[in-house]
Structures are given as C-alpha cells and as structure tokens.
A and B are shown apart, each in its own frame.
Chain A
Amino acid sequence: MTFPNPLDFWEASASRQGSDRAVSSAKSSSAKSPVVVEARKLSLVYPTADKPVTALSEVDLTIARGDFVSLIGPSGCGKTTLLRVIADLERPTAGQIAIEGMTPEQARLKRLYGYVFQAPALYPWRTVERNVMLPLEIMGIARAERQARAREQLERVGLSGFERKFPWQLSGGMQQRVSIARALALQPDLLLMDEPFGALDEITRDHLNLHLTQLWRATGKTCVFVTHSIAEAVFLSTRIVVMSPRPGRILDVIDCNSLPRERTLDIRESPEFAAIAHRVREGLKEGHSYDD
C-alpha cells in the first residue's frame, strides 16, 4: 500500500476544518501542524480462515492537536483496531492515514505516542518500577532520570510504595494503573488509551478520570480514548466518535464544546452533560438497529 505525501494532507484537512478549533489551536502551537491524526476512507479487513472480517470500513477521522477524542461503540466494532492502525500495529487495507504529517510507521519510530493496551501487558520478571522504566530504558534515558520519572508517574496513579512489588502481586486494577504510568512516563504528545479504566472500581475510576482530564488540560496532550462508558466519554472528551458494529463505521461525531474545558466531577449533573450523553446513547442505539 502507498501513503500519500502527508504534507498535501494537512492542507486539505485544514481547509476542510474551516473555522474549527483546530485552527485556533494551530495558532497556539504554530511550529506544529494543527492536525495530529488524519484518516481518510480507512478500511481494514482481517483475513481469517473462514471469511474475511471487515473491522473498519471507510473511516474518516480528523483529530486536532489538544483534542480529547473518545471512541465508543459496541464490543467488536473496531475501536481497538482503529487505535492499532494509528499506532502502526496494524496496516490498513485501504485508505490513508497520517500522524503528525507522517506515516504511522515514522510516527512510531519517533516514539510520538504512548499506548495503554486493553490488558496491562506488564512483564512478570520486572518489578512495578522497572516495568514503568522499560520504555525509558529503550529510549536510552539515564538511570537516575528513569527512576525519577517512574516514581513520579507511579505516584500520579496512586501506587507509591508498590515500586518493588511484582505485577502478579497486584490486583488487576492496580496492574492497569501501572500500565498507564508506563505510558505516561514516555511523556508522549499523543496518548492512545484502550479502555484503560475498564477493570477499575467506580471510585478509583472517577479519581483517575479527574486526574486524566487535569493532566490533559495541563499538558495539552492529544488523547484518543476507547471506552464503553457513556458517562466517562462525555466527562473526558472534547469530541466523541460513535462507531457502529461490523463493519466498523463512524456513525456520529459529537462535539462536547458546550461543556467547559475545565471539568470537575459535578459537571455530570449539568443539563449539557445529560444532553450530550443522550445523543451518544441515541447514536449507539442507531448502530444496534443496523445489526438486526
């Protein structure tokens, strides 16, 4: 497959976006392009033994710098697949995708993103701390700095004091928090998260959601976040992408600009929040009716 010249790509997308906030954020970070992820007519077919599975079908998606985009949709609709395509862990079978104006492979080789997998994927022979230090080791960062960053991120996810434990000595939710700390330790501009809080209890989840939204606001990272929870999606996102089940298509892209950029847990009681949540739910229902 061929990737088009990514530079042509931005121009097209920038003009399409018009007065969108992508332009405004472009002003703030003038050196970098306003568009972080640009996918056009993206399709992916898994060649399985019996019949090919179409996981993504003609997906168009533009993610602007500083956006917090949630992907929501029924199980098996291709959310993970889309994230994996962005991360260059999967090659699309048709269509184009550019990350920061580069091919996904170039972006991966430049370590532009941090990926939180659906499962913790910790290495059992490494302690919690050394697991978090793993990406830093590979980047060749000095030992003292590695340790400092690992400690900082573990503290952020509330796991101080567990540095010397092994992953199997932790609960499933704690393991997932370690994997979040590991992705954060990379300090990437683009954070790809596949249901990172799926295994957590409600209270910890609220706590980490709050942390995540504060981190996102403070650092201006671009986040792509997969979730099954409508409330979580609305609470965190600037935009919500509703996907339909097989073949995975984008049904609706919902803007959450009616909510303030600074989020606290009580915005969940506001009518704006309820309105957006309603629209997401309607979108999901629509997707299901296609299936029957």
Chain B
Amino acid sequence: MSDSTGDEATNPYRTSLRTAADWGLVAIALPALAALALPVGAQGGAVLGWFGGTMAPLFLIGVVLAVVAGASAPKRVWGAWPELAGVALAWLLPLHLLNEGLDLSAGWGLWLFLVAATLLLWRVMGVLAGVPGWTRSVIVPGLFGLGLLVGWEVLVRGFQVPAILLPPPSRIAAALAANAPVLWDDFRQTVLTSVLRGYVMGCGAGLIVAILADRVPFLARGLLPLGNLASAIPVVGIAPIMVMWFGFDWQSKAAVIVVMTFFPMMINTLAGLGTSERIQLDLMRSYAAGYGRTLVKLRLPNALPFLFNGLKINSTLALIGAIVAEFFGTPVVGMGFRISTEVARMNLDIVWATIAVAALTGSGLYGTLALLERATTAWHPSMRGR
C-alpha cells in the first residue's frame, strides 16, 4: 500500500518500516493463500477444491485485482473503496456457491478465505471511520450492519441451520414482503395507535409532574421513592390488570406505557432541572425574572440533555410495553398479538418479520430522537464538535 501525502498528515507516528511494506496487508494475504490449499465445499458427497469446476477462480481474480488497485491508489482513503469492492466480491462467493448447490459446511478453505476478507473489511472500516462527514456518520455504521446481515446469511445457510431455530435474513425479508399488509395493520395498531399515544401521555405527564414536584418539594420527596418502586414492577404483572381496567383496545396498552414511562421521564426531568448553576440562577434573579421566566429561559434549556435521555430510554420501553401488553388481550391485530399467535402455529417466519419491524421501529424512534437532540443541544459539552 502506498502511503502518500494524505496519510502522513493524519498519522504522524508512522515508522519507516511501516512505510516500506504494508505488513497489515501481508498478514491478511497469508491466511488467504493458505485457504487456497483447502476445499471450498462439497457437491454430491465429493469434496471440491478452488479449481474444481466452479466459478470460484473468477471471484478470486476479482478480489486480487481489487486489492492490488486499492494498494496502488495514491491516497489511502481512495484505496479503501476498491478494497471494499474486493470484500463484497469475497462475500458474494459463498452465496454464489450456495446457489450452485454446494454444501459449504466442510469448505474450510472458503471459511478461512472469508476470515481474511473480514480482516480486510476491518482495515477498510478503520480508514473510512477517519473520514469526517457522511462517510463516518452514515456509511460506516451502514456497512457494519450490512456486514452483520451478510455474515448471518452466509453462516446460517452455509452450515444449514434449521430455519425454525434461526432463518437467514433473506427469508425474513421474503416473509416481510409476503405479509406486508398484515404487518402494516399490526404496525398501525401497535405503534401508531398505542405506542405513540402512550408515549406522549407518559412522557408529558412525567415532564409536567416533575416541574410541579420541583416547585413543591414534598411532591418530589414522596414521588422519587415511588419511582424506584414503579420501575421494579414487572410489565407482565401490570399488563393484565390494565387490560381488565381499560379493555382490549389501545387504551390498556397506552396505560401500560404510561406506567412504564412516567417515572423515567420524571426522574430525568427533575435531575435536569437541578443542573442550573447558582451563578446562572443569580443572573436571572438580578433581572427580576420570576419563576416562569427562569424556567423557560434557563432551567429547561439546561435540562434538555436530561430530557432527551428520558425520552430515549422511554422510546424503547414504550415499544416493549405495548408488545408485551398485547399478549394479554387485544383486538385480533397488533405486533404482540401476531407474535403470540404465530409462535403457537409455528409460523416463525412471520414472528421474525414482526421482530424485524419492531427492531426497525425502535431504531427509527431512537434515531429520530438522537437527531433532534443533536439539533437542539449542540451547545452541550458532550455534543460539541460532532
């Protein structure tokens, strides 16, 4: 790998030995070379080598070309992209072989090759993570997730893990597409109806009560121990009670969510309201600003990082609460209902698809809040310079 201008600027500690030869690349090439001596898989009981009549040599040539291109790029960052293509090609090989009908579980040469490809990916990510902007904040985490999915797919299919234990992502995606209308109805019932309403009510109540408790000290003294008590209540305990109280529809789910989210929000808000420094408060006092002005202009802005902390914790709690509560009674729709009924019918593909929807929803909520937080608390020391 050639180390030129851009690199020296970012890494002044490079030794001359490191510059002379790219030992990292050599370390990756060694297992890859060793892999060539081992089989890539078996077909009809017969063990196949790398040159046993499959397209494997073509992939191999492609990867080598990509790595050579990457190594000869004038800047290390530019070299990362062809190397990335090489990694992608390497991981496409097992998928191709699987489609050819090969049994990969004995293909130790292939697995060793993939280990080398993964090490190469590690290197590429290391380089890309140093590039500011979109590359670092979006592409790197995206590649990381994609890598995990591909690894999951290849390992599950290569070692023929039964789908009932763990289906490959492709199968989950297929189930997602095939059941899209049902899943959308579930999503609407659970997320758009129960979770959003319960979340807004729970967080809103927590915020308002915290502001009250901040004003009325005995409220804080009484409520804080209760908060610890409430956080110890299991969802499976209160969910059936709420269903009895509020019925099968979204109201009972929202009630469970309110119980779960109220105290985290209240405790975080109270902590946040307490963070204003004396000198900042004195300043407001010297302007003859009353309680309300001080709250709006000083204490709430100061509490924002804490508020977001509560909101983020609650976004996941709310989703869990709604899904678990649906186990205890719901109209025949909803993500929790879907999971409980389809598990009973051994329809695990739909269960996995629902889990995928829940995971995406959770990350989406969390991500939205994180973006909002970044936009509104860029001034906070923990956010500066990001």
Interface residues of A (CB under 8 A from B): 84, 87-89, 108-111, 113-115, 117, 119, 121, 123-125, 134-135, 137-139, 166, 168, 186
Contacts and interface: CB of A to CB of B under 8 A. Distances in A.
A123 B288 contact: no
Interface in B259-308: 277, 279-280, 282-289, 293, 297-298, 301, 304
Given A108-B288, A115-B286, A123-B298, 19 more contacts: A88-B285, A108-B285, A110-B288, A111-B287, A113-B286, A114-B286, A115-B282, A117-B282, A121-B277, A123-B280, A124-B380, A125-B301, A125-B379, A135-B287, A138-B287, A138-B288, A138-B289, A138-B293, A139-B287
A194 to B, nearest CB: 10
Contacts of B282: 84, 89, 115, 117, 121
Contacts of B380: 124-125
Given A123-B298, A124-B380, A109 B288 contact: yes
12 contacts: A89-B282, A108-B286, A108-B288, A115-B282, A125-B301, A125-B379, A125-B380, A134-B297, A138-B287, A138-B288, A138-B297, A166-B379
Given A138-B297, A168-B384, A121 B283 contact: yes
A103 B384 CA distance: 43
DSSP majority for the B interface? helix
B288 to A, nearest CB: 5
Interface residues of B, number: 21
Contacts of A124: 379-380
B288 A125 contact: no
Contact of A117 (B283, B287, B381): B283
Interface string B12-47: 000000000000000000000000000000000000
B251 to A, nearest CB: 38
A138 B285 CA distance: 11
Nearest to A118: B279
A119 B283 CA distance: 11
B340 interface: no
B228 to A, nearest CB: 28
A61 B289 CA distance: 28
A121 B279 contact: yes
Contact of B286 (A87, A137, A166): A87
Interface string B373-386: 00001011100100
Contacts of B298: 123
Contacts of A186: 287
Interface of B: 277, 279-280, 282-289, 293, 297-298, 301, 304, 377, 379-381, 384
Task: Please indicate which of the listed interface residues A88, A124, A135, A186 has the most CB atoms of chain B within 10 Å of its own CB.
Answer: A124
A151 to B, nearest CB: 20
B103 to A, nearest CB: 61
B379 A168 contact: yes
B276 to A, nearest CB: 10
A55 to B, nearest CB: 16
Nearest to A84: B282
Contacts of A135: 287
Contacts of B384: 168
Given A123-B280, A124-B379, A166-B379, A89 B297 contact: no
Contacts of A84: 282
Contacts of A134: 287, 297
A89 B279 CA distance: 10
A237 B380 CA distance: 40
Contacts of B293: 138
Contacts of B284: 138
B379 A121 contact: no
A88 B288 CA distance: 10
Most B-side CB within 10 Å, residue of A110, A114, A138: A138
A151 B357 CA distance: 53
Nearest to A125: B379
A123 B294 CA distance: 12
A168 B288 CA distance: 26
Given A134-B297, A138-B293, A168-B384, A119 B379 contact: no
A121 B297 CA distance: 14
Contacts of B277: 121
B182 to A, nearest CB: 46
B380 to A, nearest CB: 7
A32 B297 CA distance: 34
Contacts of A166: 379
A89 B285 contact: yes
A119 B287 contact: no
Contacts of A117: 279, 282-283
A166 B297 CA distance: 16
B317 to A, nearest CB: 28
Contacts of B288: 108-111, 138
B297 A137 contact: yes
A150 to B, nearest CB: 15
A135 B285 CA distance: 11
A110 B286 CA distance: 10
A124 B192 CA distance: 36
Contacts of A138: 284, 287-289, 293, 297
**A-B CB proximity, top 3 nearest:** A125-B379, A124-B379, A121-B279
Nearest to B377: A125
Contacts of B379: 124-125, 166, 168
A114 B288 CA distance: 11
Given A117-B279, A121-B280, A125-B379, A89 B286 contact: yes
A132 B284 CA distance: 13
A38 to B, nearest CB: 20
